[in-house]
Each structure stands twice: as structure tokens, then as C-alpha cells.
């Protein structure tokens, strides 16, 4: 166990430790302490003496006026070491009084950065995301989503709001958009909601993509559970997308599908093992149609979900492995979330996935000030935002690399290989292969183009 050891050496040593122009070492402060592996790389730290400011005050209370003295005859010094876990209590008890200088032994526990959670303020802005995605380089190299269809499967897009917030217009492909039965609004004219946030976030890297509005989350066909009413319409939506993809010339097929939704509870599903189960069942019709759309050439992205261990969404009810169903499909990109500082947000679901062990695949940016779809000051958050941010990057790549040149599986592999690793051992269940890294991805594409040109 790592510990901090408080010592009260002679005043001249305390003065040397406290002096800004001197550097005292652990060896200067104390000799060897039996049973303690001292950390001699740790520079001793002076610790002031605290006393109640009012005579007769409680010497152990912080809830009163206090005086702090760094005078050499008052202050003490902290050094760092490690005590074996064997007989820890006995060894710790023997240290105070050792040589007359040890006055206390304290735990030195691991501390970690507090992760971003729901309800916390934005971390950066969409302009930071634009910079982190290296959008100026994407633009300079002609990767802007031109000629690429980008489907937002969500609550529908309000194009006027997105245009106003981003300061530039974009294309809604109304003719190729699709709505569930009973949804009558015109594509691009839905109320401002989750779908507008997703469109905004996808536009950051793919400003010239043609957006296909698929408001599948507005399904009016509700059954006994949430998924009863949704998944059947999602199947119909993906069937529509397959028709669109088949209609594209084979040589230039480019369809990216962004899905910021998923199942939160096993109560919405048949039990695992039952033939009709969705969450764990690759034979479920939706999981099959997802695989078929990918095989036809579509890049399909799903949010990993907001059931991270540190601050999960209140709806999360899977006791473990919350990346379920198509969100964990082996032929999709499951996107985890990091803030603009590169730290996983606490609500981003961790793997393993249920259909495929190695989920999430990669992470992208979320929890930034962006679309204002939920009001000023409210961030674009959740893996719901990270997914379309990544979808925009994929759409940008497809500008020059259609599925005939790089299959969806090959592009996923490139994203894995070029991601900025956030662990020391490659893939992990927090970040997947890491954060999608635009410069590394573009460099890999350049090498691929050069190799292709030589053939």
C-alpha cells in the first residue's frame, strides 16, 4: 500500500525543504525506515502546522477560523513510500515515534480525473470538435462528403434550425428520405429535437453530404414495450435504405447510416436464449437486415449507449454488457464517447458487447456546445452525439473512397488501426481501439492511394 509519511525533523531541515531555492531529498529528511520502501524520486513537501485561531478552539475541527504556520519549528515534512500489505497494520503502528521524527502515516490512494457526466456543462464547443477532427485538412484535401448519402435515423431533422446554428446551409434529400406510417411531416421540417442535434454533429466533418431524413424514432406504432413499436419500423427503414443503395451505381456507392438509439432494458425484449430475443440474437430480423445492408456497401454506425459504469442513464437496466443488439453488431461501428479533452465520458457504455465481444469499436467527441437543440447552454451529449460526429468523418472519407474502393469492413479496419489508442495494451472495453484520428486515417489513405497507383 502506498503511504504518505509525515515527519518532524529538525527546524533547519524543515527550512531547507520549504526554501524555494533549495531542493531537499528524502534522504536528507529521513534515514531508512524499516518496513517502508521510500520513494526517493518524490521531493519532500513541507506541511504547515494548523492551529485554531481562537484560543481554546477544537484542534481537530476545520469549521472554525484557523491559523497556518510554516515556521521551521512548527511545520512538518511529507515523504512518500510503500508498505507491504502483509502486516500493514502492525508496520504502520510501529512507525510513529521512529527516531522521534515520524508523526503520522496516511493513505496515498489512487485518484482519477472526474469524468464528464450527464447534467454537467459542455466541455468545449463544436469548433473544438472541428479542430480535433482536422476539418480544415479534410476540406483542403476535398473530403467534404460531396456525393455521399448520409442517413440520420432519429427523430427527424429541422434544417432551418441546424442551418441557423451552424451558419451554413446543407442538403436534405427529401426524395430519398423515409418516414414510418403515420408520420406526415416533410423531411427537414420536423420539430427541433434529437435528430436535429445528430444532423448538426454529422455536418461538422461532412458539410456537403446529402442528408437522408429517417425519423424512425417518431414511430407511432407502440406495442407492449418501447421496442415493440420501434424495431419493426427500423427494419422497414433499413429495407428502404437497401433499396436506395442498390439504386446507386456500384462503382460509386456511398451510404453512411447514423443510429443514435438502442435498447436500454431486457424487459423490452424476450429473454436471452429464446428464439425471438433481439439483444443477444444474431438471427433476429433486424440484426440480419443490418448485416445485409453493410454487405451491400453501407457504413453503419450505432451509438454504444449511455450506460457507462460511472454515471449511467437512469433507464439502463441491463445488469452487465449494456451494448446490445445491433449496437454490438460485428458489421457496424459502435461509437463510444469522449469529451474534447479526450477523456471517456462517464456515461459511455463499456464492452464487451452482446453480439460481438470487442465493443465499442472506437470513440468520438461528445458533450460539447453545438446544436442548441435542447436550448442554449445544453451540450450535444451522449454517445448520441459521438455517433453522428464519427458518421460525418466516415462520410467525408467516402467522398473519394466509395465502397467499391474500400469496403465497409476495410474502412472499419482502417479506423481501428489509425485510432489514437487510449490504453497501454491496444483494444480495451472503455475506448475500443481508441479515438478516431483524422490525420492518421488520411495518411493511411494516402499510402493506400500510392500503393494502388503503382499496381
CATH at 125 = 3.40.50.200
Q: pTM of the predicted model, to two decimals?
A: 0.77
Peptide bond just before 435 cis, omega within 30 deg: no
Q: What region, left, alpha or beta, does residue 426 occupy, with left being phi > 0 and alpha being psi -120 to 50 degrees?
A: left
Other CB atoms within a 10 A radius of the CB of residue 317 amount to 15
* Catalytic member of 128, 144, 154, 213: 154
Same domain, 417 and 271: yes
Nine cell digits for residue 18: 520549504
Nine cell digits for residue 202: 454529422
Same domain, 89 and 130: no
DSSP 362: E
* Catalytic member of 161, 349, 384, 437: 384
- Beta-strand relationship, 171-172 and 210-214: parallel
- CA dist., res. 203 & res. 187, Å (int): 17
Same domain, 161 and 146: yes
- CA dist., res. 145 & res. 393, Å (int): 9
Adjacent-strand bridge partners of 362? 335
The pLDDT profile of the chain, 455 residues, written as one tens digit per residue, is: 777 888 888 898 888 888 877 778 888 888 778 788 888 878 888 888 888 888 888 877 777 888 888 899 998 888 888 887 766 677 777 777 665 588 888 876 654 446 788 889 999 999 999 999 999 999 999 999 999 999 999 999 999 999 999 999 999 999 999 999 889 999 999 999 999 999 999 999 999 999 999 999 887 655 555 455 578 889 999 999 999 999 999 999 999 999 999 988 888 888 888 888 899 999 999 999 999 999 999 999 999 999 999 999 988 999 999 999 999 999 999 999 999 999 999 999 999 999 999 999 999 999 999 999 999 999 999 999 999 999 999 999 999 999 999 999 999 999 999 999 987 678 999 999 999 999 999 999 999 999 887 76
Same domain, 102 and 208: no
Same domain, 324 and 342: yes
- CA dist., res. 107 & res. 308, Å (int): 28
Adjacent-strand bridge partners of 71? none
Residue with cell 445491433: 326
Same domain, 86 and 117: no
pLDDT at 100: 59
Same domain, 278 and 421: yes
Domain count, the chain: 2
- CA dist., res. 230 & res. 217, Å (int): 7
Same domain, 301 and 351: yes
Final residue before a domain boundary, out of 58, 73, 108: 108
Same domain, 312 and 448: yes
Do 212 and 177 meet the contact criterion of CB atoms below 8 Å apart?
yes
Establish whether 161 is a catalytic residue.
Answer: no
* Catalytic member of 161, 194, 240, 329: 194
Same domain, 420 and 278: yes
pLDDT at 99: 57
Closest CA to 122 of 339, 369, 337: 369
**CA dist 369 → 67, 159, 372 (Å):** 43, 18, 7
- Beta-strand relationship, 333-338 and 298-303: parallel
Same domain, 39 and 163: no
Same domain, 186 and 320: yes
Establish whether 367 is a catalytic residue.
Answer: no
* Containing structural domain, residue 12: 2-108
Q: What region, left, alpha or beta, does residue 108 occupy, with left being phi > 0 and alpha being psi -120 to 50 degrees?
A: beta
Other CB atoms within a 10 A radius of the CB of residue 346 amount to 19
Final residue before a domain boundary, out of 91, 108, 125: 108
How many CA atoms within 13 Å lie on the side-chain side of 213? 28
Final residue before a domain boundary, out of 108, 125, 159: 108
**C-beta pairs of 123-126 under 8 Å, 24+ apart in sequence:** 123/339, 123/340, 123/341, 123/367, 123/368, 123/379, 124/339, 124/340, 124/341, 124/368, 124/369, 125/340, 125/368, 125/369, 125/370, 126/200, 126/201, 126/204, 126/368, 126/369, 126/370, 126/371, 126/380
Amino acid at each position: 500500500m502506498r503511504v504518505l509519511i509525515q515527519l518532524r525533523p529538525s527546524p533547519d531541515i524543515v527550512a531547507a525543504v520549504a526554501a524555494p531555492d533549495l531542493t531537499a531529498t528524502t534522504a536528507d529528511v529521513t534515514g531508512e525506515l524499516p518496513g517502508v520502501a521510500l520513494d526517493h524520486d518524490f521531493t519532500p513537501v513541507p506541511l504547515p502546522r494548523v492551529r485554531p485561531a481562537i484560543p481554546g478552539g477544537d484542534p481537530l475541527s476545520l469549521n472554525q477560523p484557523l491559523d497556518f504556520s510554516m515556521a521551521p519549528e512548527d511545520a512538518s515534512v511529507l515523504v512518500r513510500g510503500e508498505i507491504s500489505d502483509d502486516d500493514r497494520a502492525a508496520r504502520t503502528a510501529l512507525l510513529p515515534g521512529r527516531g522521534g521524527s515520524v508523526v503520522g502515516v496516511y493513505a496515498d490512494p489512487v485518484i482519477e480525473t472526474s469524468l464528464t457526466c450527464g447534467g454537467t456543462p459542455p466541455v468545449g464547443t463544436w469548433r473544438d470538435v472541428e479542430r480535433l477532427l482536422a476539418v480544415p485538412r479534410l476540406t483542403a484535401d476535398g473530403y467534404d462528403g460531396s456525393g455521399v448519402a448520409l442517413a440520420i435515423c432519429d427523430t427527424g431533422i429541422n434544417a432551418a434550425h441546424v442551418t441557423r446554428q451552424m451558419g451554413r446551409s446543407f442538403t436534405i434529400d427529401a426524395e430519398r428520405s423515409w418516414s414510418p406510417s403515420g408520420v406526415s411531416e416533410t423531411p427537414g421540417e420536423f420539430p427541433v429535437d434529437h435528430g436535429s442535434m445528430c444532423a448538426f454533429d454529422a455536418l461538422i466533418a461532412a458539410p456537403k453530404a446529402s442528408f437522408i431524413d429517417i425519423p424512425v424514432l417518431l414511430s407511432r406504432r407502440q406495442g407492449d414495450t418501447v421496442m415493440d413499436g420501434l424495431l419493426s419500423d427500423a427494419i422497414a427503414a433499413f429495407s428502404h435504405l437497401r433499396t436506395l443503395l442498390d439504386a446507386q451505381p456500384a462503382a460509386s456507392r456511398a451510404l453512411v447510416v447514423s443510429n443514435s438509439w438502442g435498447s436500454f432494458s431486457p424487459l423490452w425484449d424476450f429473454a436471452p436464449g429464446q428464439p425471438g430475443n433481439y439483444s443477444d440474437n444474431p438471427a433476429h430480423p433486424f440484426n440480419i437486415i443490418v448485416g445485409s445492408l453493410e454487405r451491400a456497401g453501407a457504413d453503419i454506425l450505432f451509438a454504444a449507449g449511455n450506460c457507462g459504469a460511472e454515471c449511467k442513464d437512469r433507464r439502463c437496466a441491463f445488469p452487465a454488457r449494456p451494448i446490445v443488439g445491433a449496437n454490438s453488431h460485428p458489421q457496424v461501428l459502435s461509437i463510444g464517447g469522449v469529451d474534447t479533452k479526450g477523456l471517456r465520458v462517464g456515461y459511455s457504455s463499456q464492452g464487451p458487447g452482446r453480439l460481438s465481444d470487442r465493443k465499442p469499436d472506437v470513440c468520438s467527441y461528445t458533450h460539447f456546445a453545438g446544436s442548441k437543440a435542447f436550448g442554449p447552454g445544453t451540450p450535444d451529449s451522449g454517445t448520441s452525439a459521438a455517433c453522428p460526429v464519427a458518421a460525418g468523418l466516415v462520410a467525408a472519407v467516402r467522398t473519394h473512397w466509395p465502397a467499391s474502393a474500400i469496403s465497409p469492413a476495410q474502412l472499419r479496419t482502417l479506423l481501428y488501426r489509425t485510432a489514437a489508442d487510449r490504453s497501454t495494451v491496444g483494444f480495451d472495453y472503455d475506448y475500443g481501439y481508441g479515438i478516431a484520428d483524422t490525420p492518421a486515417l488520411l495518411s493511411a489513405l494516402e499510402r493506400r492511394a500510392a500503393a494502388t497507383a503503382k499496381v
